[in-house]
Amino acid sequence: MNKKLYAEDWLYIRNQIIARDKRKCVKCGINDFGFAIITAPFIWQQVTKEEYSIAKLKGLRVTRVYLQVAHSDNDKSNNDYSNLKSLCSPCHLRQDFQWKLLKRLSKGDI
């Protein structure tokens, strides 16, 4: 994260948005600070702490979930709360991929 692109009070804003969204990804519903098995690129399956531990012992790809706050319009200076939403990493990556693809298409790079 390039801190120069974000407001000085970004951490406060981030915490407010995650609390507003009830500490869940607004796309898939996975919980912040939860546990997940990585079933495919950009796809996580939420599991209990016990299931996480068992999956880890079996050598499956597992992760802890930490929510991110995404800008719906992809403008990091637009910190209006209506423009911000809590997303897990895979959902955030999918959103950013769509923005980057649209940007490339508009420039004729594809």
pTM over 0.85: no
Q: 18 lies in a domain? A: yes
Q: 1 lies in a domain? A: no
> What is the span of the domain harbouring residue 102?
7-107
Q: In this model, does residue 108 exceed pLDDT 80?
A: no
Q: 2 lies in a domain? A: no
CB crowding 67-102: b at 16 or more within 10 Å, else e: bbbbbeeeeeeebeeeebbbbbbbbbeebeeeeeee
Q: 34 lies in a domain? A: yes
Q: 97 lies in a domain? A: yes
Q: How many domains does the chain have?
A: 1
Q: 58 lies in a domain? A: yes
Q: 24 lies in a domain? A: yes
Question: 58-106 pLDDT, tens per residue?
Answer: 999 999 999 999 999 888 889 999 999 999 999 999 888 877 777 777 7
Q: 52 lies in a domain? A: yes
